[in-house]
Amino acid sequence: MNRFRLKMLLKGNSFSTFRNYSQYLALISLHFKRLPTALTQEEIENYLYLALQQFHTPSETYFKHTIFSLRFAFKIEGNDQMRILLPSIKYPKKLPVVLSKTEVTNMLNKPRQFKHRILIALLYGCGLRCFEVRNIQISDIDFHRSVLHVRQGKGRKDRYMPLGIFLCENLKYYIELYKPKTWLFPGSNSKSASEFDRNYSLRGIQWAIHDAVKLCGIKKNVSVHTLRHSFATHLLEDGLDILSIKELLGHARIENTLVYLHVAQIDKKNKCSPIDNLQGVNISMGLQRSIDFGMDD
């Protein structure tokens, strides 16, 4: 397990990924009472079949992460044959749930606490992931440049997100009102809590979103990530190009961003030639005179 942890961290995976994978390796080890890398192909397939019977689809979390963790374990042991023999993951072609602009407006106005309103505003206004908004520190906000420094997002990548006038004004008011010291959204003040645990908890953010959805009477299956989907879709509908949206979301692959083309309600009625949008063009100027002098082909 120490070797597994070392290899994952050297590869650049986060500690949470290591913890997640190690849990699934532990489960299969306890099931057979042997190391997972000592199992035969038949034993692994029987175990995965049990997962399929329980979850009915190979895309469910338990099945998927068991395969991912086994792949990595076989890789660090140099057993490429077993790694290749593991079944592939079939991803369902599901479109993301997206809120309308009216629904987002209601979610921003309905929560009782201003803290929850600011939280929702940042998740939507900057298209942040849940762990990204949890890890915002006061020092990450640059009011002079009107940008938010998102540190160590998915894939350990930093990026800057534009805040705009609305978020800057309300963030200043929030900081003045709540006076956070380190984390923008502080959590537990317990001395026994680690530095990481002193920011807002995952469950706290999930509860704030679910409470806002309930207050608004929204019937869609809304999660924290739904606000990120809505951010990307609304930008696309407002005319921003897909490559710029990819950079704002911090996607490594354009394929992950292209899904929003299928959900965005882009007006297709007013299609025109791009020449219609050129300024100062008048190719008919002087045409009659050319014809009169026999110069037209």
Three-class secondary structure of residue 149 per DSSP:
strand
Tokens encoding 21: 């994978």
CA distance 33 to 31: 6
User: Could you confirm whether 154 is annotated as catalytic?
Assistant: yes
Q: What are the CA-CA distances from residue 3 to residues 9, 79, 86 (Å)?
A: 10, 15, 22
Residue 135: Cβ within 10 Å count: 20
Look at the block and give the residue holding tokens 């991803």. 91
CB 68 within 8 A of CB 23: no
Q: Of 179, 170, 114, 113, which Cα lies nearest the Cα of 143?
A: 170
Q: Is 199 exposed, middle or buried (0-12, 13-18, 19+ CB in 10 A)?
A: buried
User: Could you confirm whether 144 is annotated as catalytic?
Assistant: no
User: Could you confirm whether 94 is annotated as catalytic?
Assistant: no
Q: Give the H/E segment covering residue 141.
A: strand 141-142
Amino acid, res. 232 = A
Of how many residues is the chain composed? 297
User: Could you confirm whether 203 is annotated as catalytic?
Assistant: no
- Choose, from 65, 115, 134, 228, the residue flagged as catalytic: 228
Give φ, ψ of 11 to 5 degrees: -75, -20
- Choose, from 110, 129, 134, 246, the residue flagged as catalytic: 129
- Choose, from 154, 159, 160, 198, the residue flagged as catalytic: 154
The set of catalytic residues is 129, 154, 225, 228, 251, 260
